[in-house]
Structure 1
Amino acid sequence: MRFKRNGSYTLNRKSKTKPNGKKPPAEEKKQYLEPEFTKIRVVDFDLKELVVLPREIDLNEWLASNTTTFFNLINLQYSTISEFCTGDTCQAMTACNTIYYWYDERGKKTKCTAPQYVDFVMSLCQKLVTDEEIFPTKYGKEFPNSFESLVKKICRYLFHVLAHLYWAHFKETVAMDLQGHLNTLYAHFIVFVREFNLVDPKETCIMDDLSEVLCTPAPPPAPTPAPSAPASAPSPSSQNHVTER
């Protein structure tokens, strides 16, 4: 069974990267952890049900379909604040206590601006998910042996983008009333990569505080009390008895 998978990012710059981290001077207050924001979602059911591999679907097909979907959704989410993510406002690709550097195909390390980094990431992701030799869509076409490692690379880069959105652009996201979409997308993505071990926990640990809040299933709603039976005529001994409901 083949899923139809489409890429939507149309950038020309293409390269390979390796993530690396360095602590910036000081960590700011994490507005995105405030309860008034974390409680806002666009769905209220257990996301684990969305990511579990269906019995009738091949694992690689499931990974390909979901990875492509996350690429498109995260690209779309970033586009909502892209005008605020400039070389002046985001002179480095930061997230929490980490600065991500770009490594070219020769391994040269470059500290680039956040929009440059995201540009590189999305361009690389589109190149991979639209390559018929890597993400085949035709019946009978096999996935390459390197498929899982490439999916892990894509997911790692997409995590960097999500982390930057929270760290550097959450205020703009709130201003546009899109925090519910971002929270739901982030939680869905984290549950997915955890289910299939696609991103090293050492990579995502910088956002563990948010993941703990957003990825913990909400407690089931309290049961509705059964309607009480019609009251019978009070007996003389119960005239002064008060029942609280």
Structure 2
Amino acid sequence: MCAVARAKYRGMFMLNFVWKARRKDKDASSSGGSGQEEPKMYLESTVLECTIPESRLRDLVDLPEGLDYNEWLASHTLAFFDHINLLYGTVSEFCTMSGCPDMTGPGNRQYLWFDEKGKKCKVAAPQYIDYVMTFTQKTVNDESLFPTKFEREFPSSFESLVKKIHGLLLHVLAHLYHAHFREMVLLQLHGHLHSIFAHFTLFNTRFNLVDPKDAAVLQDLAVALGLCPPAESANGSPAASSSTPSSSAVAAGGSTDEDSAAAEVPACTAAPMDVSLSPSVTQRSVVTSGIEATPVSMAATTAGSVVPAQ
């Protein structure tokens, strides 16, 4: 028992040490005013592994013959929500109002929320993610939007609703990679994060659910994981990924204020990865990346008065 207690203490000590180190790095970079992006730790070769071997991803993302398209979208949407919610819950104590005062992604991309009147709101990352999880949880629990019974039909706007949810979940993934990847590595969860990102990216590419301009924020990671071919420059040679910070605001619905803020993104190719999928009409349960899909409870706070952009 003493050995276990010491191990837990060392783990918490190391997490606290990494959190303080990251805060110092963040404070130094903000006070320096250089505007340069921090090195992307998630692109280092030593942390690019996934927890799942590459084998059958095309079978996973392709719509099985005879299965309803909307049911396929619903099953995956619930899986992505559960797993991203679960992963964020492991590092949520390090995502604070003071440590993450803005909802940002790689390249200093900033995400804004829309209030009920359609006005853009700048909120801290934990509050933004709370809005995302609360909105998604409320949506998938609504039988009129996500039906689970045979006699109920999906609404005509279902695909648009799925696109909105996936755009919001992408923002959460982008923040995890940008602000909390060190904690993920320390907790040895980076392989799970990569696996979920790979599944999420290939599925959304297969069915065109996320705007390529929004997905470009993690395009370099998709290339590094072999999910997409490198972008090519005008002369046919691979183009170097830009490290210039983007100041364009991104709305909760996934649209950008400036169309020129994101470069062209080549279509991803489905590199296979073994993931078990068992969609059910009466009770959708999808297990991916070797993590049991158990949502983390998120406080509702004032999310009821804030809605994603239409």
1:113 aligns with 2:124: yes
Q: Which residue of 2 aligns with 1:178?
A: 189
- Residue 99 of structure 1 aligns to a residue whose secondary structure is strand
Q: What corresponds to 1:203 in structure 2?
A: 214
Unaligned runs of 5+ in 2: 1-33, 228-270, 273-310
Q: Work out whether 1:27 is the aligned partner of 2:37.
A: yes
TM-score (norm 2): 0.61
Query: Counterparts of 1:201 and 1:136 in 2: how far apart (Å)?
Result: 29
Distance in 2 (alpha carbons) for counterparts of 1:126 and 1:94 = 22
**Map of 1:148 onto structure 2:** 159
Q: Is 1:39 aligned with 2:49?
A: yes
- Answering whether residue 83 of structure 2 is matched by residue 73 of structure 1, we say yes
Distance in 2 separating the partners of 1:138 and 1:204: 33
Instruction: Determine the C-alpha separation between the residues in 2 that align with 1:45 and 1:88.
Output: 42
| 1:193-239 deviation per Cα after TM superposition (whole angstroms, max 9, x unaligned) | 01110001011011100011224338xxxxxxxxxxxxxxxxxxxxx
For structure 1, the 5+ residue unaligned runs are 1-23, 219-245
Structure 2: how far apart are the matches of 1:47 and 1:122? 27
CA RMSD of aligned residues (A): 1.6
1:172 match: secondary structure: helix
Deviation at 1:27, TM superposition (A): 1.0
2:135 is aligned with what amino acid? L
Q: Percent identity?
A: 52
Residue 74 of structure 2 is aligned with which of 60, 64, 71? Answer: 64
User: What is the TM-score normalised by the length of structure 1?
Assistant: 0.77
2:114 is equivalent to residue 103 of structure 1:
yes
Partners of 1:162 and 1:134 lie apart in 2 by: 24
In 2, are the aligned partners of 1:92 and 1:99 still within 8 Å (CA)? yes
User: Alpha carbons of 1:212 and 1:72: their partners in 2 closer, same or farther (altered >3 Å)?
Assistant: same
Indicate whether 1:125 and 2:126 are aligned: no
- The 5 Å alignment of 1:153-172 reads 153-172=164-183
Residues 159/215 of structure 1: CA separation in 2 closer, same or farther (3 Å cut): farther
Q: Which has the larger radius of gyration?
A: 1
Q: How many residues align?
A: 196
Deviation digits for residues 165-210 of structure 1, max 9, x if unmatched?
Answer: 0010000000000111000000000001011100010110111000
Q: Distance in 2 between matches of 1:120 and 1:202?
A: 22
